[in-house]
Amino acid sequence: MSWYRNTVWFVKGLREYTRGGYESASRHFNPADVEVDVAGRSFLVTGANSGIGKATAKEIARRGGTVHLVCRNKERAEVAKEEIVTETGNQNIFLHIVDISNPKEIWKFAEKFQNEHKLNVLINNAGCMVNNRELTEDGLEKNFATNTLGTYIMTTALLPLLEKAADARVITVSSGGMLVQKLNVSDLQSGNGPFDGTMVYAQNKRQQVVLTEQWAKAHRNIHFSVMHPGWADTPAVRSSMPDFYERMKNWLRTEVQGADTVLWLAVSAEATKLPSGLFFQDRQAVPTHLPLAYTHSPPEDEEKLMQMLEEFSQKFKSVSPG
């Protein structure tokens, strides 16, 4: 069945996820949806020093929003912040150095952030695709630590702040690659069998979709969404998927095109007219499963994922200051 999923997904990708797919879809966009003034609203973007994260942060800054850039590399982050301030004229750009693969750091950051700032919109964009199995200093598989546990902790830790906000939103940048994966809660850290970084990443992205659906049920005052940016020309794609990049580089979307739906979900009034918990592509809610792909998971597996992530997160919270 995996060959079927992969083939259908790739054919779908050639049609929809490339630059041509974006250009076709964008003919139906309403430009007014994102021509808005968001001055006075606060946005936090993880992984904001390059790629889709930086493009999103820049577009929000152009619209007057206060933007908190959460980045791992201080040097690259400072360059990105300076670029955003210079190009947009918006001085309300704040930088926070946090490694999203380090759960203790996230808890510590979130505790401090809640005491000092307000937050209307959280954009979980940080991610990684490590092609060989690596463990963090906490003994966590790096893709899982960043893409799944890091996203879970950042969101969970900031929920109390978001619950207080007007028109609060959480947007998570996933991937269409998740369509080839069924949720697997038996091996969250990919320790069994051969390690395939691309499939581990896709599994993490499936987990993000499940997280979004579960959060939407539990937190009715916040609008949750998860999205696929399409196949975009970003530093992460070039470094993590060099063969794919070489084959597809002439058809990849720009970073701004990849960020378009993130921006739309973050600032438009239209986005929150749709139900919370949906998966988006090019400003449209789309199915989270391919036809006949058998990737649906039983409710008990989805509940088990939430339970396991909560147990992981509390373990690391207990050793953080405060």
pLDDT digits (tens, 9 = 90+) for 151-179: 999 999 999 999 999 999 999 999 999 99
Structural domain of 104 = 3-315
Cα–Cα distances in Å, from 171 out to 93, 204, 215, 224?
19, 16, 11, 6
DSSP string for 143-202:
HIIIIIIIHHHHHHHHHHHHHTSTTEEEEEE--GGGGG-----S-TT--SS---HHHHHH
Positions annotated as catalytic residues are 201
Is 303 contained in some domain? yes
Is 152 contained in some domain? yes
Mean pLDDT of 87-108: 98
Report how many domains make up the chain. Answer: 1
What is the residue type of 194? P
What is the residue type of 228? H
For residue 244, name the pLDDT band (cuts at 50, 70, 90).
Answer: confident
Is 320 contained in some domain? no
Is 106 contained in some domain? yes
Residue 97: burial class (beta carbons within 10 Å; 0-12, 13-18, 19+): middle
Mean pLDDT of 296-321: 89
Question: What CATH number is given to the structural domain containing 59?
Answer: 3.40.50.720
What is the residue type of 66? T
Whether the per-residue pLDDT at 322 is higher than 80: the answer is no
Q: Give pTM, 2 decimals.
A: 0.96
Is 322 contained in some domain? no
Q: Which pLDDT tens digit goes with each residue over 190-221?
A: 999 999 999 999 999 999 999 999 999 999 99
Q: Which two tokens stand for residue 183?
A: 């949720």
Is 231 contained in some domain? yes
Is 239 contained in some domain? yes
What torsion, rounded to 10 degrees, do the Cα atoms 24, 25, 31, 33 define? Answer: 180
Q: Which residue has the tokens 């994922």?
A: 305
CB of 171 closer than 8 Å to CB of 265: yes
